[in-house]
Structure 1
């Protein structure tokens, strides 16, 4: 939700990957960083991929700021077509945090759709529910089209449009009925 105080999450679209009685984990999907994807792959010549090939295969892909928790660690959100050493399955998507997925991406053999984030957003048990009750967040069903196919600049707008209204109608003031 818009607010008077600008903070880290203002205007963020977060894909909540895991939510249970222990808390929640999500990834901001609309805040690209300035870090080149290739810089995170590192030297993978030992896997038969030249540095030039790796740069070429990774150049079109953005690295996102996924959230303030473990913001020095990479997490790849991806489609169900590939599984890796550290892959975790959740409904329509998977999350992998091991280097083997980066090697596959640099070879051009990665998942059909993927997004690399640095860090994640996390909530303790009951915290996200409390924030939703306090009108901090709007919630919609996750859309893989918005996550993978929608231009970054349109993700916030398109996510809110799933609720059936124009985001420009939102106010930073909230109340309870």
Structure 2
């Protein structure tokens, strides 16, 4: 089985109103048991500061006042996850995805962004995208997803609304022009 871990997935199907329409997903894990990742280009209406205040965490960090909570996906919408770039944060609930990208759901790490003690680059996600065993492979085979090498710096450095354009620029072709009939897997 070929793993698509640490890749971007772009939803090819052009179905108006579909949950995944115009989504770019960073795939955190993919193995014989299934896959999971986060939609990285769709912010919610909530700032991180407003969200953290709603769970009783007081903000004194200007970054959280404009950074948006991201819509991670349709699974476990009551859970918050963080992608960040700080390898010095060691916690039993922090997993390295690459040498520069880490995943956690630990409340103390998530709350640390309010006190400037947390990672300097981060994204908070509400929920995640999940696939059962062989489901993602089947969807890729049916041309629902375009698989792309992930430049994870873009997750933090580009505004969410510009991610598809930035990835397209990196690739040298416009993702929005891809159809399910002509798909390239990188």
CA distances 1:97-151 after superposition (whole Å, capped 9, x unpaired):
0110122100011112110000000001111111111111111111122111012
1:161–1:167 Cα contact (<8 Å) kept = no
Residue number in structure 1 paired with 2:32 = 21
Look up the SS of the partner of 2:114 in the other structure: helix
- Partners of 2:151 and 2:182 in 1: CA distance: 28
Residue number in structure 2 paired with 1:89 = 96
2:75 is aligned, of 65, 69, 73, to 69
Residue number in structure 1 paired with 2:17 = 6
Gaps of 5+ in 1: 45-50
Show structure 1 runs of 4+ deviating over 6 A.
Answer: none
TM normalised by structure 2 equals 0.81
1:140–1:162 Cα contact (<8 Å) kept = no
Look up the SS of the partner of 1:74 in the other structure: strand
- Partners of 1:31 and 1:4 in 2: CA distance: 17
CA distances 1:29-81 after superposition (whole Å, capped 9, x unpaired):
0110012312432324xxxxxx3525x45212110000000011100011142
Gaps of 5+ in 2: 1-11
TM normalised by structure 1 equals 0.85
Alignment of 1:37-56 (within 5 A): 37-41=48-52, 42-44=55-57, 51=58, 53=60, 56=62
User: Which of the pair has more CA radius of gyration?
Assistant: 1
Residue number in structure 2 paired with 1:145 = 153
Look up the SS of the partner of 1:89 in the other structure: strand
What is the root-mean-square deviation in Å for CA atoms of aligned residues?
2.0
Residue number in structure 2 paired with 1:100 = 108
Look up the SS of the partner of 2:145 in the other structure: coil
